[in-house]
Structure 1
Amino acid sequence: MHPETHLALHHARAAELRAEADAHRLAAAARRPRDLRVRLGWTLVEVGLRLAATPKAVAAAH
């Protein structure tokens, strides 16, 4: 392959990779508030499961 052709292909691929990285960064920035909601949701699920489970001391007394 001619060196100039190879260099042109390299520059084109590098530009594609930079555009893909920028798109990924934008998507990650848009997801951040959702991540907080997901963590809060799972924390509430965990608390609910702990409240619903019978404590060992109460279960042993009955």
Structure 2
Amino acid sequence: MSHPETHLALHRIRATELRARAGHYRLAAAVKPPVHLRARLGWTLVELGLRLAATPRRTAAIA
């Protein structure tokens, strides 16, 4: 059996490691792509969605 103090010490070490990693990801998330690229990508996705939602053309059945 493990002692509660050992478990608590391991928990604190792991929590410190996770906080350090979270800080790295927070800094990476702060960097945003240029607005014009985001807008262009957004409109491209809208156009793609409209094409997919349009009624499909009828194709000739193969006999």
TM-score of the aligned structures, taking structure 1 as reference length: 0.55
Can you list the C-alpha shifts for 1:3-61, whole angstroms capped at 9, x where unaligned? 1110110001110111111111000012x1x1524313225657xx7xxxxxxxxxxxx
Aligned equivalent of 1:41: 40
* 2:15 maps to 1:14: yes
Select the structure that is richer in helix.
1
Matched-pair identity in %: 49
Distance 1:43 1:2 in 2: 55
In the alignment, structure 1 segments of 5+ residues that lack a partner are 50-62
In the alignment, structure 2 segments of 5+ residues that lack a partner are 48-63
Aligned equivalent of 1:57: none
State the one-letter code of the partner of 1:36.
V
Give the aligned CA root-mean-square deviation in angstroms.
Answer: 2.4
| Count of aligned residue pairs for this structure pair | 45
